[in-house]
Structure 1
Amino acid sequence: MPSLLDGSTPLSPTRVRLALLALSLGAFGIGTTEFVAMGLLPNIASDLLPELFARSPEAANAQAGWLITAYALGVVVGAPTIAGMVARFSRRAVLAWLGTAFTVATLATAVLPSFELVLLSRFVAAIPHGAYFGIAALVGARLLGPGRRARGVALVMTGLTVANVVGVPFATWVGQGFGWRAAYLIVAALFALSTIAILGAVPAQRGEPTQTLRRELRVFRSGQVWFALAIGSIGFGGFFAVYSYIAPIVTEVSGAAESVVPWVLVTIGLGMTVGNLVAGHLADRSVARTLVFFFVLMLLVLMFIAVSARSLPLLFAGVFAVGFAAQGIGPTIQTRLMDVAGDSQSIAAALNHSALNIGNALGAALGGAVIATGVGYLAPIWVGVGLTTAGIVIALLSFRLERRQRGSNRGPSGLVEDDAVEDRALAERNLGADVKA
């Protein structure tokens, strides 16, 4: 494992691993807090909306669903804003402050008495989400150094994928047995622990002293940044068109008992964990090829699920594969944004999470719209096929325009044949060794 230097002091492999583990622990807490509400909506609705729940549990659950929407909106708003404002500060200090904000806001969710206040706390709790992942991705990439950046990003994101396997099911079990507020108290404790771990294990890493929010916002002048955001917002929406309605697909299409749903969710989480790690290795060789590969794989898997979901064993195989493909896309888009952002690294890394949460909202909304027409629970899968196809088209167009621009700027003899070579050159410029042990 290559070491990063502060003048002459290398980081030991153990220190690098501990730092990555601390960053991943924060990601684990975020993954748990983001998705645990989905399993506890009836509990939250009956507690915070008792009169409405007594009249109509369906209406109360629908209103409680705004807690999920509020979190997604907080991510979209907070990711570019916070990341742009803090780019000039020490990255370890910023991560610690973000962890503290997560802790306080999650505690507020656990203790506030009314639905309106809890709704506000979920929006506030989501504001640090994108900035944390963006800055943690930059730190993880620099810890492993040029040529291994995507693996650094993937290792940070491992906490998010493991949360879907362990954190969300466990917090849901606690919330069902001891009250939904207990689940959020556990998540707040996770954030507090991750903050302490970051302060103790992550090396000090200076920010960009000359960067301001105005300068960071220059990233939006890049057409390739807009392409990368569109790939995430539209193409990744194909996954959420299916994931959002996996429970009725299991019970109504496959005919399985409700108790099977958590096992299907665990299977998706396992696929996401494996896909995340595989993508980290592949993207260090070629971001473009890796992105197209996982998008095409997700397209094929979605079509497979659409025609085989009535068989429960085949559905299990399909959801593992769709989790694998979807999470292969996530860190690859993250790396792509870092590659095309120039000097606006902090905001670009965070924007990935705004894009993915737009995909979350888009896929869920379009999937729900087709269900509302009465065409059945397989219809969202075909919506996912359409969104994924659009993502592939956007990605191919982006790479083609980039190659054309390289040719016009450098001439035939200056073309870079392997984009991994260019990635390393960019990494050496943007990710210089400025980490202190």
Structure 2
Amino acid sequence: MITNFRILMGATALCASAGIAAAQDVTLTVATVNNGDMIRMQGLTSEFEAANPGIKIEWVVLEENVLREKVTTDIATNGGQYDVMTIGTYEVPIWGRQEWLKPLEMSAEYDVDDLLPTIREALSVDGTLYAAPFYGESAMVMYRTDLMEKAGLEMPDEPTWDFIREAAEKMHDPDNGVYGICLRGKAGWGENMALLTSMANSFGGKWFDMEWVPQFDQKPWQDAITYYVDIMTNFGPPGVSTNGFNENLALFQTGKCGMWYDATVAAGFVTNPNDSTVADKVGFAQAPTAEGGQKANWLWAWTLAIPASSENAEAAQTFIEWATGKGYTELVAEKEGWIAAPPGTRTSLYENPEYTKVAPFAEMTLEAINSANPGSPTVDDVPYVGAQYVAIPEFQGLATTVGQLFSAAVSGQSSAEDALAAAQATATREMSRAGYPK
């Protein structure tokens, strides 16, 4: 979702927070996704205003798919609507190479070297940082320990998809409002296709071969989509085709999911007693695998970046340094406890005993992030980078269309076979139009 911040920054405030030369007040418009960590940031902007006199902030919140549409249109047309954009590891290297983003030159106090190496590398082009991570993530399985015990099962640290299905079947109790597993079904390249791309990788699949030929007609994708439709049809919640990250988070927090495979960032929300009714009954495991594939984890960061069209780059960087710096993490911890700290961006967080003692998921999250390999996301060689996406400009539109096909399959509007055939035809046509291989 998008959030627009209008930030009036006075000269005194800018000088104090980032050493910017005296200037007249500046209005910044910032777009951000409305996930829980960003909502928390919205609630803390008064702290930013207090530290920077003369600053006022106005928020506008939009859904995640709309965020991507809006900022992509603005950046591609040089629209200049935003001074700061919330974008991800998919966009940053592509837009950085196109010179659509302004490089970041962080202060020494910001401590760029403290950023996790995998995250920092994903946000850099030729060694230059083009976005600062607000939070980073991989993927893991979150599950109800009480329901797992009741089912007579023990979750392995590295489960297989076969085990996940067995556990989903035994934990499924719809008469009491509990569903065996919750997975993304909402169409979108960053919604259901993040899940399904990583799942296909774990079954040995890939989007394209080395000649950029689409692979949806191959067995790994057939196995992955057939498995997905089966497990969600039999053991998933109602309305799965409308459930994305936020919807599944709400389901899990209210005790309606036996298991949930999704982003590691959710761990802080499902174990926070202020947010979750099952906070003391949550266990964690690494992303699942299937025979012939590899672990279904991914690498992602929601980041703040400055579009080249912004005329307020210095002031924009002031805001970015505040929102993604160590001081902000400490502010969140002070206000809401260390468990609420934005995860997945800084080494110092995972070396902080105050955080690790309240975050039982910390070690597993760090392991998942560090083991993600976007440069080699499948068992076979591929011509692209990306564990849950393909880092080419055409992917955004193509994967959104393919996501709609698979969302229709899981809702029963089409069969898995028909969805795969349509995905293969669509991908073949669009890649040919785009001139691949190039």
**TM-score normalised over the length of structure 2:** 0.25
Select the structure that is richer in helix: 1
Q: Which structure has more RCO (C-alpha within 8 Å, separation ≥ 6)?
A: 1
**TM-score normalised over the length of structure 1:** 0.25
Select the structure that is richer in strand: 2
